[in-house]
Chain A
Amino acid sequence: MVILLTKVIVIRPSRCIGCSTCALTCSLVHHGEFNPQRANIRIVRDDFAGRFELRFSSSCNECKQCARVCPSGALQLVELSGESGVNDR
């Protein structure tokens, strides 16, 4: 038996404070420059209404850097543990 530890991103949009640190970090990590347009995550802000929407692009490779820097808990890394079957995969 093998214990699998997997980190997943739990997304809680209601906790987003709109800082866009996730998108800034993503663009730097993957493109070597700060460019929110090229990031795999985007925070769509409605500033008048104080609302934020999180969107991931299909090019996201789930490197999870965004969640590592999120200060608000909107993106949170959580460790899931589970027992696998006989075959290790």
Chain B
Amino acid sequence: MTETYGYAGKILDVDLTTGTIKAAVPDEQLKREYLSGVGFNAVTLYKEVPANADPLGPENILVFNTGVLVGTSVPTASRSEVSAKSPATGLFGTANSGGFWGSELKLAGCDGIIIRGQAPQPVVIFIHNGTARIIPATHLWGKDAWETIAAIRSELGDKNIEVAAIGPAGENLVKFASIENGPYDAWARTGLGAVMGSKNLKAVAVRGNGSVKVAHKKKFMEIVAATRQAIYGSPFYGPFERFGTMLATLPYQEFGILPGRNFQSGTVDGWVETRSRKLVPRYSSRGIACVACPIACAHWMEVKEGPYSGLKIKDLEVTPVIGFGAGCDINNLPAIARVTEICQRLGLDMVSAASAVALAMELFEKGKIRESDLGYPLPWGSEEGTFQLLHDIAHRRGVGDVLAEGVRRSAPRLAGSERQAIHVKGLEPFLIDPRGRWSTWTLGYITNVRGGDHLRTRNPVENLRHNENPVPYRTEKFAFPDEMYENLDMPEDMKWRIFHPHTKDVDIPLMSKWAEDLISLYNATGMCIRPPVLHTVGPTLIADLYSSLTGINLAPDEAIRAGERIWNLQKLFNIKHGEKPEDSDYPARFYEEPVGAGPAAGRKLDRGKVKQTLAEYYRARGWDPQTGHPTPEKLAQLGIKA
């Protein structure tokens, strides 16, 4: 076999129904056009999952692929992508995670693994130095994710094994079950844990003693150093190293864009003193990194007093703090950390779980769910009620069984609570409120191919210093020093189109396309979307890293084009699987109910203007402005055969 650089050169293909294991070598054209990660996943799923496939049936396919830069010292290149037809949305389900699993898979000699069929009994797939084994795991069924990880390491006699595992939520086919990546990370969104559960697959464990080879070592080292310097040079680097994602907790409250009490209030009483980044130093003195990451945005948290005294966990992350701290109004970080632990053990997506609990709390407040339905009270902020309900969801007990379907499906069964169910295409967005802050980021809630979510688009120079009122819809403010604009890794002609020449105001539809393509490029290569990376590392650096690592020459315009190709292919998957143009829309609450309190109080979205902006976005994408379908011309340009 010829030497392969960057890529391990092997994708395993496991059929759990028959127990057969094959391997394929990714070809040159596939590498160049789709890179790896989400790109490879999209190709496999678009080609091979039939339109009528039941997401929880044996015909669904679960694919893991690492980013091609993973396993090297490229700063933040830790990430791998898992995809399948989503049981939450029925569309392209996909999730991205860092940690050490992806780099271990590369050292085990594999870029990815395709998993088909359904095992007759619970199993674990163990990949060790290029070969896979299917191991019976009936004794692990029922264990939580942490117990499963520890048991697999102990039984296989190697504490360095990296484990992707489901908890009880995945086993019980909860529509927002996650795949846990080691104890504290996860491929969380779109319910992929349930797909794993439906296949009777408890875990994918990996261990490797191999290597990742580099085509042009000297050049590669130079570009890695330049990438590191670019990230260090970001004005966000210091604050992110210090506060991690908790950095955003102050501006969200200041702008009144928190999803307080299930998006009823833009601010939360006592937020700054109880749940903001100001608390980070009280609970943590150090960061914890994913492999090769210089930022270490997560923090090691230790609670030394109060009812959660003794709790130690990698946490202090904005997602659970916004979801459970604002959305459910749990008013202290130690309790939110306990929620994090519970979700990680049960294998629940914390974003969707928070949305489900917040919906239940709102219905409890309105008397539509009673204590007698639940067996316990569930007022806003209830810690014990939240813990109990999360267990009920994961084990599908009572009201928890209904909520386990996700808010879209559970709302009609809970006293007609569709108005309170916040989702787009069946996925729950639970971060900032688009009514309070309209931006590239919040347009992304409805353009995102995986449904309502904040992680597949983001203006790389997003400005949390400005909040405009009234909302201009078409643009958002830049207002950073010009240097940031000049340093942005974006072709000059693109800058001229996206940024207003004098004010640098950002054209939202054009920026949305750019950001989605860029993040697709990240998710195909393994880069992380934290702001210090997002606004310094673009197609030029990534193409140079890719070329010097793999020996396959990729130009910057080919790199961003690959991101665009991957986004279009995911959209085609969605159209094939039944996505309708009207699905790309916000929940009714955002149009019909104004934000309840805070600086954004009284604001709501304007349907006409949203529709107009969406049509502009479709035009920017070269898609039909009415249907949002990629045009034949666009597909021909990208070389996609639909």
- Tally of chain B residues near chain A (CB < 8 A): 34
A59 nearest CB across to chain B (Å) = 17
Q: Is the CB of A20 within 8 A of B228?
A: no
Judge whether B73 and A21 touch: CB under 8 Å: yes
Query: Shortest beta-carbon distance, B24 to chain A, in Å?
Result: 23
Q: List 14 A-B contacts (CB under 8 A).
A: A14-B286, A17-B296, A20-B292, A24-B72, A24-B292, A28-B217, A33-B212, A35-B211, A38-B211, A71-B289, A71-B294, A71-B296, A72-B294, A72-B296
Nearest CB in chain A: distance from B45 CB, A: 29
Q: How far is the CA of A77 from the CA of B212 in the complex (A)?
A: 28
Partner of B288, one of A17, A24, A31, A38: A17
Task: Give the docked Cα–Cα distance between A27 and B107 (Å).
Answer: 13
**B interface residue numbers (CB < 8 A to A):** 71-73, 75, 100, 107, 146, 150, 182-184, 209-214, 217, 221, 228, 286-296, 300, 312, 314
| Bound: A72/B288 CA distance, A | 10
> Would B182 and A47 count as touching, CB distance under 8 A?
yes
- Classify the secondary structure of A's interface with B: mixed
**Is the contact region of chain B dominated by helix, strand, or loop, or is it mixed?**
loop
State whether A15 touches B286 (Cβ < 8 A). Answer: yes
Given contacts A17-B286, A69-B73, contact A35 B107 (CB under 8 A): yes
Complex Cα distance, B72 from A49, in Å, reads 25
Contacts of B107 in A (CB 8 A): 35-36
- Chain A, residues 31-57, CB within 8 Å of chain B (1/0): the string is 111111110000001011110000000
How far, in angstroms, from A50 to B176 measured CA to CA in the complex? Answer: 27
B294 engages A33 (CB within 8 Å): no
Contact of A21 among B71, B214, B292, B312 (CB under 8 A): B292
Which residues of A does B touch, CB under 8 Å?
A: 14-15, 17-21, 24-25, 27-28, 31-38, 45, 47-50, 69, 71-72
Chain B residues within 8 Å of A25, by CB:
73
- How far is the CB of A40 from the nearest CB of chain B, in Å? 15
Contacting pair A72 B183 (CB below 8 A)? no
Residues of A within 8 A of B291 (CB): 19-20, 24
Q: A33-B214, A48-B150 are in contact. List 8 more A-B contacts (CB 8 A).
A: A15-B286, A21-B75, A24-B72, A28-B73, A32-B214, A35-B107, A50-B314, A71-B296
User: Which listed residue, B184, B212, B295, B312, touches A47 by the CB 8 Å rule?
Assistant: B184
Known: A17-B287, A24-B72, A25-B73. A50 touches B214 (CB 8 A): no
Give which listed residue, B213, B228, B287, B314, contacts A72 with CB less than 8 A: B287
Contact status B312-A50, CB under 8 Å: yes
In the complex, are the beta carbons of A19 and B286 less than 8 A apart? no
Contact B296 A33 (CB under 8 A): no
Q: How many angstroms between the C-alpha atoms of A35 and B213 in the bound complex?
A: 9
